[in-house]
Structure 1
Amino acid sequence: MPVVISKELFYEKISKELDCRVIHYWTDNCVQGALPALPQVAIGVAKFFLPIYLLRMAIDYRRKKKNILKTFVIRELRSILYGASLSLIIISSICLLGKICGRIHYYNLLLIPGFLSGLGILVESDENQTLDTLIFFNSFIETNLNALKVNTTKQAILFVIFSGILMQLFENRKEELNFNYWWFYTPPLKKISNDNHQNKCSHENSCRFFITNGVKNYFMLGAGINITKRLLGSFKLLIKSPAKLVNVVFHKSNVYFGLLIAAYVGIYRAITCYLRQTQLLSEKWHGLLAGAISGVPYCFYPTIQLPVLAITTTLQIFYHNLCKHYNITNHFYQRLLLYQCVHACNLHTNFFYPNISSPYYSKMVDACTNRLTSKIYDQLVEKYFL
């Protein structure tokens, strides 16, 4: 059972003699401390990213891109270098801070080294830098929801609220959004026309076709997303037992998630079409009402990733609008600073408060370090807290 290590408990149980050897327990030499960790991290990162990059290679092949094998190798090598950079900077920073401060303190064990190690993301491609930042930011939001003890009922309320706000922002945008986000549905951009006789809706074809076609397509999208997630999570198991592929592809959760996404889009399109045709409500509020009501099906199949996505995408759009209003140039160092902050917080929480850490983040760290972080944690807990 994971032990929660608060700041008070840390200083109560651990004496001033604690030094960085608690991290590189395999040697007393700080210079050599990080070296044995690098092969472990390289193996872990390579295994973790292999199914992801194989999937991307298959997508590149279908799109008839060139040099797909070379691209695959470069992606894998850059990610290995990224993981090695993180671990090297973390261990080196812990040792250096321990020497400067005279001992290991609560926040210089992982929080500060985690922030400094965020510089390791610079070895990744721009595309992966953005993806990693989004993944870690989503994990940060999920961790905080866990810390606030947000149960499924509160999750549903949060989803309804942020779904309404998010769709309100989408509906009232003046142009297409030029940044990456993971929200699954973006309504069509409103058409501006002075023709009073045209269809009041922004879509082509009839409203009935627009709604039913959306339900069909987004059911397939939702099921496809869940299948992909399960395939990536079961990659090692499928290598050993390929017959289990049938269970992964036809698992009932794929249908449930597909129905949830389809219901969301179908209800949203039906409400917005009805409101535009009847003009019962000012058009600028259509997104807020339709988005909130569309979030209700979440109650039947709650999955915390959806409210997390709604929150993060809403914050992304707010930040985008803020930058545009105040003419703030979006440089890479803003993304880097965000990544460093959320990476540090996630790493600190995962080690000291494993009970609230994002499950995906915990599994990812464990896999990418080839369970080295778990071994370090077990050593520390066994020696000082049991």
Structure 2
Amino acid sequence: MSAISKHWDQLTAGVECSTLAHPGKTCHDHILFQLRTTVWGNMQFFIPVSILRLFLLVYSRKSISWQTLRQTLFEFGCMVLNGWAVSNSWSVCFCAFYHGFQRVINNYSVSLAALPGTLLIFWMPHYVQMSHSRGIFNVFVECWLKSREHPLIQWARESRTIGTGAFMLISALIGFFAQRTKAVEFWFFAPLKKTNNDQHNNPCYHRSTCQNYILDGMKTCFTFGMILELARKLISSAPKIRQNPATFFRLFARIRYKFVAFLTLYNGLFRLVTCFLARHRRKVSDYDSTIAGLISGLAYSLSPNFNVFGLAVTAMIQNIWNFISEKYARLDGIKWFNRLSFSSIVWVILANYNMYSRAYYPYAMSKYALKFTDVCSNSQSRTASECLAKLFLVTN
């Protein structure tokens, strides 16, 4: 499929936008149809995501309130609006590019048609900016790794040993930089840090016993893992559940319990090692989180997958950036970049790369990414990808 982008001009000579994007429909009818139907498509996708968000907010705040519900509903509306804008920006601009240039211009008609819609992210709430940028970065990492044809990369991505070793190093870097920053980023462990409220002599800083501290962390990660897996299954199985509600109970048989076990063990090992090191020397060292991150990374061998690996890379980069931002906060370049919103920039660039990947590397994209682009675009992305593939096969 990558040959398509290299021979685009020859393949698309004389091809109209309808041939690739909306066979059998005029541009006007196609765009009106997309504007209507993608509203429900985005709602269908983001309802389980928002339910997961609500559960996590209630779990972290230990209570449910109208403020929490209102926040979740507002973020849900913003996510739907953002997805709707991206999808329809692609539909409108793809046709506009064709009519403006009288041809489908290079692969930029595929890659950049969604650009105006992706810019809406700069006006989204912080949670939407962060969650969307993390999600799209994970899609990028997985697609990039799967689509590389170099023998060394092919060997590395198929080796459990190499994957586990790489994850251990990334996990150690997360622990190293997270220990040295004030900002708190989402990850499956948190370094031991002393707060102003810690007036006791416990060398580990936590108030409970080490046993309770370790078990509480494992329980939290187990709960989060189960909710995350259930939400993932709800997204992929929503049409079947609507047709037959009894299908919901079968989801539990297909949950990746090894993944849940990985999260539980990963957090438990991290807390166990940090407590052991702190009690051994009677104080917490700046390097305890690095060592614990490295050792706990062994749990990755239980359930190696690209999604978790991408999440780890994302967390590592975010913690490195937080470290740089705090250390060099007075530099004008850092101030300007932070005001511009780093997560939004990532989303804009990689959301457009996602359109490119959907067309040229659909085999390398995760099932979640394919589901996301297809459901939110009312199958527009799948139609365009299939039409492009047919064009390539007919031409060759």
Give the drift of 1:163. Answer: 0.5
Verify: 1:202 aligned to 2:200, yes or no.
no
**How far, CA to CA, are the matches of 1:281 and 1:205 in structure 2?**
16
| Aligned equivalent of 2:147 | 147
Any residues of structure 2 matched to 1:1-386 within 5 Å, and which? 3-12=1-10, 14-26=11-23, 30=27, 34-53=31-50, 63-65=64-66, 68=69, 72=73, 78-99=78-99, 101-121=101-121, 124-148=124-148, 149=154, 150-153=157-160, 154-173=162-181, 175-177=182-184, 181-190=185-194, 198-249=201-252, 251=254, 253-254=256-257, 256-279=258-281, 283-327=285-329, 328-329=334-335, 330-386=338-394
Give the drift of 1:160. Answer: 0.8
CA contact (8 A) 1:4 1:354 kept: no
Amino acid at match of 1:287: S
Give the drift of 1:140. Answer: 1.4
Amino acid at match of 1:226: E
**How far, CA to CA, are the matches of 2:26 and 2:242 in structure 1?**
39
Give the drift of 1:369. Answer: 1.8
**How far, CA to CA, are the matches of 1:283 and 1:69 in structure 2?**
42
TM-superposition CA deviations, 1:236-278 (whole Å, max 9, x none):
3333333333332355623x33321221122212222222222
Amino acid at match of 1:151: E
Give the drift of 1:54. Answer: 5.0
Distance 1:188 1:230, change over 3 A: farther
CA contact (8 A) 2:52 2:228 kept: no
Q: Unpaired segments of 5 or more residues in structure 1? A: none
Give the drift of 1:228. Answer: 3.3
Normalised by the length of structure 2, the TM-score is 0.81
Q: Unpaired segments of 5 or more residues in structure 2? A: 149-153
CA contact (8 A) 2:21 2:380 kept: no
Give the drift of 1:183. Answer: 1.5
Amino acid at match of 1:134: R
**How far, CA to CA, are the matches of 2:232 and 2:5 in structure 1?**
36
Give the drift of 1:341. Answer: 0.2
Normalised by the length of structure 1, the TM-score is 0.83
Moved more, 31-40 or 270-279: 31-40
**How far, CA to CA, are the matches of 1:272 and 1:141 in structure 2?**
30
CA contact (8 A) 1:119 1:340 kept: yes
Amino acid at match of 1:230: K
**How far, CA to CA, are the matches of 2:317 and 2:35 in structure 1?**
36
For these two proteins, the number of residue pairs brought into alignment is 376
**How far, CA to CA, are the matches of 2:378 and 2:130 in structure 1?**
24
CA contact (8 A) 2:236 2:371 kept: no
CA contact (8 A) 2:38 2:377 kept: yes
Distance 1:111 1:299, change over 3 A: same
Q: For the aligned residues, what is the CA RMSD? A: 3.4
Aligned-partner SS, 1:202: coil
Distance 1:380 1:217, change over 3 A: closer
Give the drift of 1:176. Answer: 4.5
| Aligned equivalent of 2:151 | none
**How far, CA to CA, are the matches of 2:165 and 2:17 in structure 1?**
45
Give 1 or 2: higher helix fraction: 2
Aligned-partner SS, 2:136: helix
Moved more, 262-271 or 278-287: 278-287
**How far, CA to CA, are the matches of 2:288 and 2:71 in structure 1?**
48
TM-superposition CA deviations, 1:22-53 (whole Å, max 9, x none):
34434786555522322232232232223334
Moved more, 213-222 or 285-294: 213-222
